[in-house]
Structure 1
Amino acid sequence: MTKDEIYSELKAVLVQSFMIDEGDISLDADLYTDLDFDSIDAIDLAAKIHSVTGKQLKPEQFKGVRTIGDAVNVVDELMRNG
């Protein structure tokens, strides 16, 4: 998966599962301040990433994720390194 494909998958998950307007989603969008995420939403997103990639995110991997771009980078690293 390329970073663009990861971004597209994440965007689809955010729209479908979190009811976020597609127009609000960008690589720079902050999950917490721009998209109104809370810690439960972050856990749900990590679970959705697991279902899409088949790979389990460790909590410490997701801890530094603030933006959609951060999430894309974490998933990209997870896909490369398993």
Structure 2
Amino acid sequence: MEVKDIIARTNAFLVEEFEVAPESITPAANLKATLELDSLDYIDLVVVIESNFGFKVKPEDFQGIVTFQDFYEYVINRLEQKALV
């Protein structure tokens, strides 16, 4: 899967799951603020990631994720790791 496809797929499920305007999701935007995430929303986000991309997410994985770009890079790296196994 190409990077642009991963980003498009990620944005599509974020828009649907968190009911945000697609134009509000930009690489530099703050993930937590844009999606208005609280602790329960993080659980929803983990479930959506796992079901869409087929890898397990640990809560500590989110500590370094601030922007959507950070989030994309996380997903891309995890998919690359999964492909190597």
> Which category describes the TM-score, using the shorter chain as reference length?
0.7 to 0.9
Percent identity between the two aligned chains: 33
Quote the RMSD (CA, aligned, Å): 1.4
Secondary structure, counterpart of 1:34 in structure 2 = helix
Using the TM superposition, give the Cα deviation of residue 3 of structure 1 relative to its aligned residue in structure 2, in angstroms: 2.1
Which amino acid is the alignment partner of residue 41 of structure 2? D
The runs of at least 4 consecutive aligned structure 1 residues that moved more than 3 Å come to: none
* Structure 1, gaps ≥5 residues long: none
What is the rounded CA distance, in whole Å, between the counterparts of 1:38 and 1:3 in structure 2? 28
Structure (1/2) with the larger helix percentage: 2
Matched, 1:32 2:32: yes
Structure with bigger gyration radius: 2
TM-score by length of 2: 0.84
Letter in 2 for 1:26: T
Structure with the bigger RCO (C-alpha within 8 Å, sep 6+) is 1
TM-score by length of 1: 0.87
